[in-house]
Structure 1
Amino acid sequence: MTYHTKNQPARILIVDDFISNIQILANMLKPHGYDIEFATTGEEAIDWVQQEPFDLVLLDIMMPEMDGFEVCKKLKENDETKNIPIIFVTAKTDESSIQKGFQVGAVDYIVKPYRESELVERVKTHVTLERQRKELIKTNQAKDRLFSIIGHDLKNPMSNIFGFIKLLKENYKAFDDEKKQKYLHYLFESAKSNLELLEELLEWSRTQTNNKPFRPGLYPVSELIDNALHIMNETAQNKEITIETILNYTGEVYCDKAMINTVLRNLLGNAIKFSHPESSITLKTSAQNNLVKFEVIDQGLGMSKENQQKLFHIDQHVSTLGTNEEKGTGLGLILCKEFIHRHNGQIWVESELNKGSNFSFTLKMRESNKK
């Protein structure tokens, strides 16, 4: 199920067969910044919750065809919806109804007619708890993924380095110069891979602890592109890959230069990794209104729809070898997403298996919050 982030308005579903009751609740809650949806039947409510993410459901008990108890029970039986908090809002005040409400899974009970201050505070409490629960799940998923990267992707290259050093140490005099160069090359590539991964891990950890400074300013697009090409050209040349540029916009963008250099370097590195030798990559810019769009387009391996949906998520693992069997962790794309979102931009991919990929992101031409 998709989760809304803590920066987005909390979504509340109001379920009542009387529109007037829905309007009363909505009028009380909308001034507090909630995103309100409604359903007038139990079936409609279940459909809504199964298709869209909600932080809270306000549920009437007395409804025709399917009452609130049955709706609550069905939602709690579904693994995808069972954790959504449900508050019964009803005129039924007898003890057996209240007891049954908690038995089927409700977290609270509000009696009609509503006292606005009480309703608002109870909703706020349960929305806050639900947001905290979702953030905890995301944090745990990120931690598990991070440990997986450290335990697997960092350990294996270190084992290779140790193995090659041991081999050279024990057989140095017996090996000819060609074999020594071969093993030294393996050592270099393994050490380089480890260093890149460590740098990505450190960068990502800084973003998670808010220790990564954000220093935006106005920089020419041509300067950002030149910096990225200067770093990545040698890697491209090693695979005989040509990087072409189509710069329809070369003016300034408002960005943190170091962050955007990291984004461009990662996207170009991925494009090189998954491109066939002697092919080409296109780096393109364009502008519309106040937005500048950057595109990194390759003609390489591409990816399935399933893998595209897993990208940019720390809790999802996509493991695909490059055309020269280059390895990666996907952590670079997580960094790209973090950095672009710090700029209030968007990043996405369009790809087709065996035909290539187009990674795009947007930046603003100027600071939008300047007073």
Structure 2
Amino acid sequence: MDRTQVVVADDDPIIRQLFKSKLTQMGCDVQSAEDGGAAWKLLRNNKHVDLAIVDLDMPNVDGFSLIQCARGHPRTKHLPIIVVTSRTDAKAIQDAFSVGATSFLTKPLHWSTFNSHIEYLMRLTHAAHQARNQVQRAEAAVRIKDVVLRRTLEAGARGTEQIQEILHRLASTIRSGTDVESAFGIIDELEKETLLIQNSLVQGQSMSKALCSRVNVDDVRVPLMNLLANAQIRVQQRSRQHNVPVSIVRVPEDAYIACDPDGLSLAVSHLLDNAVRFSPQGGTVTLEADVHPDGMLTIVINDDGPGMEPDFYAARLLPTFDAEFEEQNCSEGVGLPLVKAIAEAHGGVLEIRSMPEQGTSAMLVVPADRVRLEHDFAA
């Protein structure tokens, strides 16, 4: 089980040492800071902090400012923060809670009840975290299912219109009785269009069945290399057809990610498929991933295709985008809005950067709380 990671901010070295001793006995790992500025640096640079204990009256950056900074940062906005201070005036307590303190203890501390206070707060925080995750999963399920249904219906409707137009041309050709070869060509065209509709409906049906169960983006921890290799395998046939090799050029082999592996692999493979389709014959597509110092993971797909104006992809990430162009020119299936929804279901984002004649770079950003390196398990 992972040890609880605690940051203590107090300008009194004796108090800091007391906290460290008591918390270590409780099975916590403790880092200390003499003021709010040093504590904020610890909170920013450590991707896994479970609890902060903060004195209000410190030099340079006081406790109020530290709490405000923490609540304004995505990674620490839900961090439990205990204010520990000798101040007992009601205004100080009210101000501390108004800027985001979770609980309040006064000095001198009653060490006999300190352990119980910490344990209760951590249980409460865990319950709140579970509740937030359930809400996020439910919202993610709604977004993803909406995208799948809407895009599948759009593909079917467009295909039906195409078939009606083809049948009209076929009827005209047959009635003229003059061009048998053209009639056979139109029949071939009709067969291809029917197959496209069938593929879209089958894919939509398959994804809908997979999404009928609870969306789970937390409970499966998989090696990042395996997930990306699976995405690469999904596009092998397309890669061979277009003579555009897909290469994994850099991935941290010791990185693990907590995710829905099928969903995230689908998102990456869709971006790879788009990159292959946009690249010229003999072009290259690369897949790379990095874990950054703050723990954030980026998965990047680069191609050397013609590139597009920046607004091109911005429009295609909107839920209301009319998918006609994408269906004709990009990857088959439910499109970039689904990739965006999958990224957001994991607390991440999808960014696409492209310029004419400079290729395209698609980046999935995954937050630090979903990423672990192998040495984290041993710690």
What TM bracket, shorter-length normalisation? 0.5 to 0.7
Q: Distance in 1 between matches of 2:220 and 2:100?
A: 44
Amino acid in the other structure paired with 1:241: N
Contact preservation (8 Å) 1:273, 1:323: no
Contact preservation (8 Å) 2:170, 2:187: yes
Number of the residue aligned with 2:103 = 108
Amino acid in the other structure paired with 1:24: L
TM-score (norm 2): 0.55
Percent identity between the aligned chains?
A: 17
Number of the residue aligned with 1:12 = 6
Contact preservation (8 Å) 1:245, 1:282: yes
142, 150, 166: which is aligned to 1:147?
Answer: 142
Number of the residue aligned with 1:273 = 274
SS in 2 for 1:192: helix
TM-score (norm 1): 0.56
Contact preservation (8 Å) 1:242, 1:281: yes
Amino acid in the other structure paired with 2:192: H
1:195 paired to 2:202: yes
Number of the residue aligned with 1:324 = 329
Amino acid in the other structure paired with 2:115: V
Contact preservation (8 Å) 1:46, 1:75: yes
Number of the residue aligned with 1:40 = 34
Contact preservation (8 Å) 1:86, 1:106: yes
Deviations 1:172-212 (A, max 9, x none): 365354445435433432442443355456556768459x9
Q: Distance in 1 between matches of 2:268 and 2:275?
A: 11
Contact preservation (8 Å) 1:274, 1:323: no
SS in 1 for 2:170: coil
Q: Distance in 2 between matches of 1:245 and 1:108?
A: 51
1:241 paired to 2:279: no
1:65-214 matched pairs, under 5 angstroms: 67-68=62-63, 70-71=64-65, 74-75=68-69, 78=72, 83-93=78-88, 98=93, 101-102=96-97, 105-116=100-111, 118-165=113-160, 168=163, 172=167, 174-175=169-170, 177=183, 178-200=185-207, 202-203=209-210, 208=215
Contact preservation (8 Å) 1:85, 1:130: yes
Amino acid in the other structure paired with 1:85: P
Q: Deviation at 1:39?
A: 1.8
Contact preservation (8 Å) 1:158, 1:190: no
Amino acid in the other structure paired with 1:14: V
Number of the residue aligned with 1:26 = 20
Q: 1:150 to 1:323 in 2, by over 3 A?
A: same
Q: Distance in 2 between matches of 1:302 and 1:122?
A: 57
Contact preservation (8 Å) 1:14, 1:57: yes
Q: Distance in 1 between matches of 2:91 and 2:67?
A: 16
Q: How many aligned positions are there?
A: 302
Contact preservation (8 Å) 2:275, 2:285: no
Q: 1:83 to 1:136 in 2, by over 3 A?
A: same
1:57 paired to 2:52: yes
Structure with more helix by fraction = 2
Q: 1:186 to 1:30 in 2, by over 3 A?
A: farther
Deviations 1:244-288 (A, max 9, x none): 899xxxxxxxxxxxx99998887566434312142256899xxxx
Considering Cα pairs closer than 8 Å and 6+ residues apart, tell me whether 1 or 2 has the greater RCO. Answer: 2
Contact preservation (8 Å) 1:10, 1:127: no
Q: Distance in 2 between matches of 1:173 and 1:103?
A: 69
Q: 1:113 to 1:198 in 2, by over 3 A?
A: farther
Q: 1:163 to 1:36 in 2, by over 3 A?
A: same
Number of the residue aligned with 2:256 = none
Q: 1:192 to 1:9 in 2, by over 3 A?
A: farther
Number of the residue aligned with 1:219 = none
Q: Deviation at 1:25?
A: 1.2
Q: Distance in 1 between matches of 2:244 and 2:24?
A: 54
Number of the residue aligned with 1:306 = none
Q: 1:196 to 1:59 in 2, by over 3 A?
A: same
Q: Deviation at 1:18?
A: 1.6
Amino acid in the other structure paired with 2:272: A
Pairwise CA RMSD? 5.6
Contact preservation (8 Å) 1:200, 1:331: no
Q: Deviation at 1:43?
A: 3.2
Q: 1:25 to 1:261 in 2, by over 3 A?
A: closer
Amino acid in the other structure paired with 1:107: T
Q: 1:358 to 1:273 in 2, by over 3 A?
A: closer
> Which blocks of at least 5 consecutive residues in structure 1 are unaligned?
1-6, 215-223, 247-258, 285-294, 304-315, 339-350, 360-368
Q: 1:357 to 1:43 in 2, by over 3 A?
A: closer
Contact preservation (8 Å) 2:5, 2:50: yes
Q: Deviation at 1:40?
A: 0.9
SS in 1 for 2:11: coil
Contact preservation (8 Å) 1:299, 1:356: yes
Q: Distance in 1 between matches of 2:160 and 2:327?
A: 26
